[in-house]
Amino acid sequence: MFIFKLSILFTLGVVLSTVMNKARIPDSLAYITAGVILGPALLNLFNYQDLYSFELINRFAICMVGFSVSQSLNVAVLKKAKFRLVFVSIVQALVTFGVVSVAVFAFSGSVIFALLLGAVSSATAPMIPIMVLRQFQAKGELSDAIVPVIAVDDLVCIVLFYLAFAVSLVLIDNYNFTTLIFEYATMLTFSVIVGLAFGLICVAFFNWLLKSREEYLVAAVSICFACVGLAEVLDLQPTVLAMAAGFVVANLAKRNTDVFETLQSFAPPVFLAFFVATSSIVVMDISHVINFGIIGVVYILARTVGKLFGNYIGAKMFDCNKTVQKYLGVSTLSQAGIILIMSDIILSEIPYVGEQLYIIIRGACVIFLVVGPSLTKFAISRAGEISEISETPEILEIPETHQKGATHDIF
């Protein structure tokens, strides 16, 4: 029965995407709409039990994105730009963290609220901007900057989250801070080490054993599944592990472009299912938008200000051009994916306070999930980087400039 439901899901997703393409509406909104229609909020075709069946797909999708965005972290490309986008991303993440933390503390008086909401605020949902860039075949300075900024942004968010989480546990339950930091640092370090080592093994296969694009596709999909499995078995951070593996492949595989391009052909049904599950789960919590109160409103406004101001300051500090300075923040406001996992951790590990934070984070996700795709499209449109809309968009392609090692005059 679940397989039959999936066929309905894919059909509705394609129909809505085709219809909305006529109005040049982002595909991600079509997929989100399909999730709302088929989920518990409306038709209930996918009930609560069905949504749990998407768990493996969701974890696979997160690892696939982590692996794929690492393509934009090609050292040769970043070196030409003196690694400025990396520094821009770090600056905007820290500014967003600071703005949200100060604003939330001013209205709540809670250090725990301030630190945890500040930490999760810096994350961006990579899938939405990437889908929009590909759908509208965006090319230019801004489009080239978005993906590497998001990639580094999520890494910074993960570090900030575990630091804030450790402090929160100390304040609530008198945990030993040094022990917690050592535990989290060890977990993240081993995630990087395992990812790099696994990436080296994958490079050996790509360089010496695999020849055809079909073999590359099977290998790339296997890598993403392996990242899910390794993270689960070894209790590691899946996004960090997948990005570390992707980083090695992007920089050492002889035909790295073929690896990432073939993975694109597998992406559409996976991410359609991911968006349906995510939107259904988030919209199930639509009451959170109503109930999250003044702190929720402060979080949304402060995160928006932090992202806009942080990206502008970072881009200006490191001499990016005016287009990037002006529109980078608007294009990276989407939020979902990794912070939903963080909200589950907060809910399960921090009693009472965790439930309130869970409501705020999930409620804010509803807002950013809905407005994010349109804002990214608005940014690249205002930057003059939208090309003719693709008839059959491949939703996970990184802009061509990153694939071939070239770069526009971003700086």
- The span from the CA of 276 to the CA of 36, in Å, is 7
Tell me the DSSP string of 98-135.
Answer: HHHHHHHHHHH--HHHHHHHHHHHT---THHHHHHHHH
What would the pLDDT profile of 188-222 be if each residue is shown by its tens digit? 999 999 999 999 999 998 888 877 888 888 888 99
Listed in sequence order, the residues at least 6 apart from 14 whose beta carbon sits closer than 8 Å to its beta carbon are none
Please state the pTM of the whole predicted model: 0.86
Tell me the DSSP string of 134-190.
Answer: HHTT--SHHHHHHHHHHHHHHHHHHHHHHHHHHHHHHHHH---HHHHHHHHHHHHHH
- The span from the CA of 158 to the CA of 238, in Å, is 11
Listed in sequence order, the residues at least 6 apart from 330 whose beta carbon sits closer than 8 Å to its beta carbon are 308, 375, 376, 378, 379
Amino acid 252: pLDDT: 92
Tokens in use for 319? Answer: 């001499």
Amino acid 284: pLDDT: 58
- The span from the CA of 401 to the CA of 119, in Å, is 31
Angle at 336 between CA 233 and CA 137, to 5 degrees: 110
103-107, 133-137, 196-200, 292-296: least confident range: 292-296
Whether the per-residue pLDDT at 268 is higher than 90: the answer is no
Side chain identity at residue 144, one-letter code:
D
Listed in sequence order, the residues at least 6 apart from 164 whose beta carbon sits closer than 8 Å to its beta carbon are 115, 116, 118, 119
Contact between 392 and 148 (Cβ < 8 Å): no
Residues 88-92 have a mean pLDDT of: 94
H helices of 174-234, in order, are 177-208, 213-234
Amino acid 396: pLDDT: 46
Fold of 54-263+291-403: Na+/H+ antiporter like fold (1.20.1530)
Instruction: Look over the chain and give the mean of its residue pLDDT values, rounded to a whole number.
Output: 84
What would the pLDDT profile of 162-173 be if each residue is shown by its tens digit? 999 999 999 888
pLDDT band, very low/low/confident/very high, at 243 (cuts 50, 70, 90): very high
What would the pLDDT profile of 311-363 be if each residue is shown by its tens digit? 999 999 998 889 999 999 999 998 877 888 888 889 888 877 888 888 888 88
Amino acid 395: pLDDT: 42
Quick one: CA dihedral 240, 218, 392, 144, positive or negative? positive
**Tokens 């394609």 label which residue?**
14
DSSP-derived letter for residue 82 is T
pLDDT band, very low/low/confident/very high, at 106 (cuts 50, 70, 90): very high
Residues 100-121 have a mean pLDDT of: 94
Contact between 12 and 279 (Cβ < 8 Å): no
Whether the per-residue pLDDT at 402 is higher than 70: the answer is no
Whether the per-residue pLDDT at 398 is higher than 60: the answer is no
Query: For 29-78, what is the HEC assignment?
Result: HHHHHHHHHHCCCCCCCCCHHHHHHCHHHHHHHHHHHHHHHHHHHCHHHH
Whether the per-residue pLDDT at 393 is higher than 80: the answer is no
Whether the per-residue pLDDT at 407 is higher than 50: the answer is no
Domain boundaries, the chain: 54-263+291-403
Amino acid 301: pLDDT: 96
